[in-house]
């Protein structure tokens, strides 16, 4: 691994650790002390707009549906999310956010927007394209890795 690769690698590791910690603390110390970072990510995966089924949300988060059931129980209890039965297929549970849940969603979006802005504000438009290209390429690489392992 050459020096430059190494530097980029160290940046990624450091950024990864920092994001984990900052996200966790932002909520624990703020207005919404009762919501963990994992719960915020679940709220993010449920989304603001259409209702999503348990299976869909679990797939997005790459967790089992059983884990999501437990998480959903807590989110419902705390008043961030709601369960709905699908009319067309009564086995299916649809999830949606409450007003309080949508507030968390917006706060978290803002944090993410800040992250992106901190990177892009020092770059020109052309440079932003390059950043996007690099991230896309990483994403494709990871998807191949993930799905080839699971032979899907």
4 near its own copies, rule: CB under 8 A: yes
> In degrees rounded to 5, what are phi and psi of residue 6?
-60, -40
**Piece of 72-80, 103-111, 114-122, 127-135 that binds DNA (CB under 7 A):** 72-80
98 near DNA, rule: CB under 7 A: no
At closest approach, how far in Å is the CB of 64 from DNA? 4
Task: Compute CA 8 distance to the chain's CA centroid, rounded to the nearest angstrom.
Answer: 23
In the shown chain, the binding pattern of residues 89 to 128 toward its own copies, with x for contact by CB under 8 A and - for none, equals --------------------x--xxxxxxxxxxxx---xx
User: Which residue intervals of 29-98 are DSSP H helices?
Assistant: 37-46, 54-61, 65-77
- Of the residues 7, 11, 15, 70, which one makes contact with DNA according to CB under 7 A: 70
Of 114, 119, 113, 144, nearest in space to 132 by CA: 119
Q: Answer yes or no: are the C-beta atoms of 75 and 42 closer than 8 Å.
A: yes
> In degrees rounded to 5, what are phi and psi of residue 83?
-100, 140
26 near DNA, rule: CB under 7 A: no
Interface with its own copies (CB under 8 A):
1, 4-5, 7-9, 11-22, 25, 29, 44, 60-62, 109, 112-123, 127-128, 130-143, 145-146, 149
């Amino acid at each position: 691994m050459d020096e430059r690769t190494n530097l980029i690698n160290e940046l990624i590791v450091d950024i990864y650790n920092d994001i984990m910690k900052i996200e966790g603390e932002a909520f624990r110390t703020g207005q919404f002390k009762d919501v963990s970072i994992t719960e915020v990510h679940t709220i993010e995966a449920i989304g603001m707009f259409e209702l999503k089924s348990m299976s869909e949300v679990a797939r997005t988060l790459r967790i089992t549906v059983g884990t999501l059931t437990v998480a959903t129980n807590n989110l419902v209890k705390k008043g961030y999310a709601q369960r709905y039965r699908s009319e067309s297929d009564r086995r299916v549970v649809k999830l949606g956010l409450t007003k309080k849940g949508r507030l968390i969603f917006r706060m978290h979006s803002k944090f993410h927007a800040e992250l992106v802005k901190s990177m892009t504000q020092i770059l020109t438009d052309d440079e932003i394209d390059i950043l996007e290209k690099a991230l896309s390429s990483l994403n494709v690489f990871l998807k191949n890795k993930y799905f080839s392992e699971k032979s899907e």
